[in-house]
Structure 1
Amino acid sequence: MNLILEDCAQVPYFTNMRVVFDALELNASDFDWFVSDIEHAGGDAFCSEDHWISGEDLERALLSNDIQFVWAVFSAIPKGGPRPAIHEPPYADGNPAFWSDPSPRPQLIGALFEIVCWDSSATILVGLPDAALRRFWHRFPDSKPLNAAPR
C-alpha cells in the first residue's frame, strides 16, 4: 500500500523530511539517495539540482537545516549498492501516475521506495515496507491510502 498525508493539522508543513523520517522510524543514513525534481525553501542548505547523496549527508542536511521541500522525489537505494543509470529522473510536479495508477511503484529502477514532496501540501509514500507505513499511520492517523485520494 502507498500512503498520502494531506489536510492534516498534525504537522507544521507536509514536506518536512526530518518529520517524515522520524514518523517512519527510518534513518536516512541506512540508504543511498537519488533526489530529483527539487524545489525548496531553505537557502543554500540543499542542492536544487537532481543528485545522488549519501544517507549520512542527507541526514546531516536535514538535521542541521530547516528545509521545506515544495517538490522533490527522494528515491532510496540499497546502501553501497550499484547506482542505476538515470535516463529519466523521477518527478513529482505534473506526474499523473500518483493519481491514475492504482498502485504506483518507485519511479527509479532499483529503488526500494520513494518519498515524494507534493507542492508543499502533501507527502506521498510509495513502496515503503509495511512496518514503516504502520508507524507513519500511527503518528499521522489522517494519512490515507494513495489510491483513495481523489484528484
Structure 2
Amino acid sequence: MNLILEKTDQVRFFTDMKEVFAAAEIAPQDYDWYVSDIETNFTPEGFDVGDQWIRGEELASLIHKQEIQFIWAVFSAVPKGTRPTVSEPPYVDGNPDYWDGKDPAPQLEGALFEIACWDSSATILINLPERAQRAFIAKYSDTQPLTKAARV
C-alpha cells in the first residue's frame, strides 16, 4: 500500500526527512539514494540541489546536522552499492501518477521504495516495506492510503 500524510497537525512541518525516516524506522545509511526534483527551504553548505546520487551515510549526516525542509523532492532508495541507470529522473512536482487513483510504483527502475515531498504540504510514501508502513502509521495516525487522496 502507498501512503500519504497531509492535512494534519501531527507534524511540526511536513517533509522534514529526519522525522520521516525516524517515524518509518528507516535508517538512511542502510541504502543508497537518488534524490531528484529538489527544492529546499535553504541550501546547506556542500549540498547541491541538482538531481544526484548520495550515499546513505552522507544523507543521514546531512539531515541530522541541518534542519532542512524539502519543499519538493523524490528520495529513491536502492540497495547499497547499486546505481541503476537513470533514464528519466523521478519527479514529484506535476506528477499525475500520484493522483490517478492507482497505486504507483517507484519511478526509478531498481528502487526499493520512494519518498516524495509534495510542496511542503504532504509526504508521499511509495512501496515502503510493511514494517516501515506500520511504524509510520503508528507515529502519524492521520496517514491515509494514497488512493484515498486521488485528485482526479
TM-score by length of 2: 0.96
- Segments of 5+ residues of structure 2 without an aligned counterpart are none
Partner of 1:147 in structure 2? 147
Partner of 1:107 in structure 2? 107
State how far apart, in whole Å, the 1-side matches of 2:16 and 2:60 are: 12
State how far apart, in whole Å, the 1-side matches of 2:2 and 2:120 are: 18
Residues 107-128 of structure 1 show CA distances to partners (whole Å, capped at 9, x for unaligned) of: 0000000000000000000011
8 Å Cα contact 2:44-2:66 kept in structure 1: no
- Segments of 5+ residues of structure 1 without an aligned counterpart are none
Structure 1 pair 101–90 and aligned structure 2 pair: CA distance change class (3 A): farther
8 Å Cα contact 2:99-2:147 kept in structure 1: yes
- Sequence identity, in percent? 55
Q: Are residue 89 (structure 1) and residue 92 (structure 2) matched?
A: no
8 Å Cα contact 1:14-1:123 kept in structure 2: yes
Runs of 4+ in 1 over 3 A off after TM superposition: none
Q: State the one-letter code of the partner of 1:147.
A: T
8 Å Cα contact 2:98-2:150 kept in structure 1: no
For 1:124-143, list aligned pairs within 5 A. 124-143=124-143
Partner of 2:25 in structure 1? 25
8 Å Cα contact 2:43-2:49 kept in structure 1: no
For 1:43-62, list aligned pairs within 5 A. 43-45=43-45, 46-62=47-63
How many residue pairs match? The answer is 150
Give the secondary structure class of the aligned counterpart of 1:14.
coil
TM-score by length of 1: 0.96
- CA drift of 1:28 comes to 0.2
Residues 10-56 of structure 1 show CA distances to partners (whole Å, capped at 9, x for unaligned) of: 11111100000000011000000000000001233432100000000
